[in-house]
Chains A and B, each alone.
Chain A
Amino acid sequence: MKLTDEEKRMGEGNQGTVVMKFMKLLISIGEAFDAPRMLPTISVHVTSVSLATLMKGGKHIVEEITDSGSRLKAFTTINPLATDFTQWDELGIPEEEASEQLKIEDSLREIGAILCNTCTPYLVGHVPMFGQNIAWGEASAVIYANSVLGARTNPEGGPSGLASALTGRTPEYGLHLDLNRLGEFVVRVQTELKEPTEYGALAFFTGAAQKKLIPVLAGIPAMATCDDLKMFSASLHGQSSAKIFHAIGLTPEAKTEEQALGGRKPVDVINFGNKELEATLQTMTSYTKQDVSWVVVGCPHCSITEIREVVRVLNGRKVHSNVALWICTSRPVKTLADHMGFTEAIEKCGGRIVCDTCPILSTKRTLENLGFRSITTNSTVMAVTLPSILGINAHCGRLYQCIDAAVSGIWR
């Protein structure tokens, strides 16, 4: 790997032992993947910052950076944490875990991270430009950044993300290279998709059909929203190792099918019609009983548009006394929801807006403390992953179906 003088010096320790260790980490990764050089990067999204994924080892690393005096060079945002600091008690998080997580957040603030605590940094001002080389973690955000924004990133783990943030570099391999971004198979969408949940089902179907190949979607309406593609990005990850997709006529590297495929023939062409949509959605419900205890909207974190839609569908109806309704989002979006009166409208109905965290990062103890028996959600990705992570089963359906379940306490 060819390094600049500055990069060599960083690797030799001229900026301290912490920068040296992380530069070595990037060099090791680069050499293992035959990267010819490092790329400068100014945009990093760091994952694995919650207590659950950081563990003692990661906490030790973050503290080591803080104590060393080294500070992050790139603009750096962070993924959700283990709890919402304004209501950890109501969310069933033990005090010692909340205070431990608060200490980690303090360290991250001190080294220069922006504490948006969200899986959707692109909704709160972290928006890299087309073609820029970035270093993001969080699979759903990685897929969104590569596909929808046209920025270029490999899926970075916690340590490699911190390494890029500290050095302002990322090795040139994988999705930084044109050839590795081209579509490989085509999905012809033959039904009119109407909301994020349906896009999530399409992603699940797409990823299950070809688990390693890059999909090209044909027939996505020009009016698809960023919420739709946000859910598609998150749900593709659950099934496929592809970290980019293309939607012809919509995403920036797919003006035509030919461009999306780089002029090559697709390895496979599959169809997704109404029958496939309904069948896929049905497979996502793993909880066979009708009782509802926990309804969650906001995985990935809600945009302001999605929160407005919750208010519209709720329409003043009260949440059933045996049900908890959580709307998960980032704190900046909640601030806007407060200002718009959406927070008050949801709270008046008995729902709750939850920030900074995600049910996937809950511990089993949280569920036991709050007595949740299952999850009811419009998120296809949560419905598929929570059974294996938290050991509870899911109802998965469109937004109106989830909100109706929150009001009646019954899944229909």
Chain B
Amino acid sequence: MSEVILRGHPIIGGNVEGRAMVSNEPICWLLSVDLNGLVVEKGHSLEGKNIAGTILVFPTGKGSTAGSYKLYEMGLRGSAPKAIINVQADTVTISGAVLGNIPMIHRLEPDPIQAIREGDEVIVDGDKGVVRVIQR
């Protein structure tokens, strides 16, 4: 077991910890996931997995602007991620995460998609933009 520290640009504050889920592909909140957090987009690298309650690492959002309300509603239902870590954040994801008070950080060094693996324990400080990864 080893620990890695990633530093980035904080977008939405808050301190949470949880297990990582990592996608190397963008996520469309309207079409990639259902309201229970299950990834339903055909051929997506996370297809069939559930993102509810995870620390979700992905490059950026994609697709319909209607996705913001979907992410917010997932938050109300308890099926949103606990925190979001992006390479570069997009407007749709930021809007949904602000409404749902989901801590969010982007532009981290080193690259979170390389440094974080599914199942790693991750401690997110959304105020400072710092992510501690305890690698399995």
Contact = CB atoms under 8 A, between A and B. Distances in A.
Nearest to B72: A57
A156 B68 CA distance: 11
Contacts of B76: 56-57, 60
Interface in B46-80: 64-70, 72-73, 75-76
Interface stretch (B16-24, B89-97, B109-117): B89-97
Interface in A108-148: 137, 139
Interface string A1-37: 0000000000000000000010011001101100000
A287 B68 CA distance: 33
Task: Give the secondary structure class of A's interface.
Answer: helix
B9 interface: yes
B12 interface: yes
A386 to B, nearest CB: 14
B91 A157 contact: yes
A182 B95 CA distance: 27
Interface residues of A, number: 26
Interface size range on B against A: 20 to 34
Contact of A61 (B11, B12, B69): B69
A370 interface: no
Given A28-B98, A61-B72, A53 B12 contact: no
A58 B106 contact: no
Nearest to B63: A241
A267 B98 CA distance: 37
A55 interface: yes
B99 interface: yes
A160 B11 contact: no
Given A28-B12, A32-B89, A32-B94, A53 B99 contact: no
A158 interface: yes
Nearest to B35: A55
A137 B64 CA distance: 11
Contacts of B67: 157
A157 B65 contact: yes
A60 B76 CA distance: 10
Nearest to B29: A157
B95 A53 contact: no
A28 B100 CA distance: 13
Rank and list the top 5 A-B pairs by shortest CB-CB distance, nearest first: A57-B73, A157-B65, A58-B69, A53-B66, A159-B95
Interface of B: 9, 11-12, 30, 64-70, 72-73, 75-76, 88-89, 91-92, 94-96, 98-99, 104, 106
28 contacts: A24-B98, A29-B91, A29-B95, A31-B9, A31-B11, A32-B9, A32-B106, A48-B66, A48-B69, A55-B73, A56-B73, A56-B76, A57-B69, A57-B76, A57-B99, A58-B72, A58-B73, A61-B72, A137-B65, A155-B65, A155-B91, A156-B91, A157-B65, A157-B67, A157-B92, A157-B95, A159-B69, A160-B95
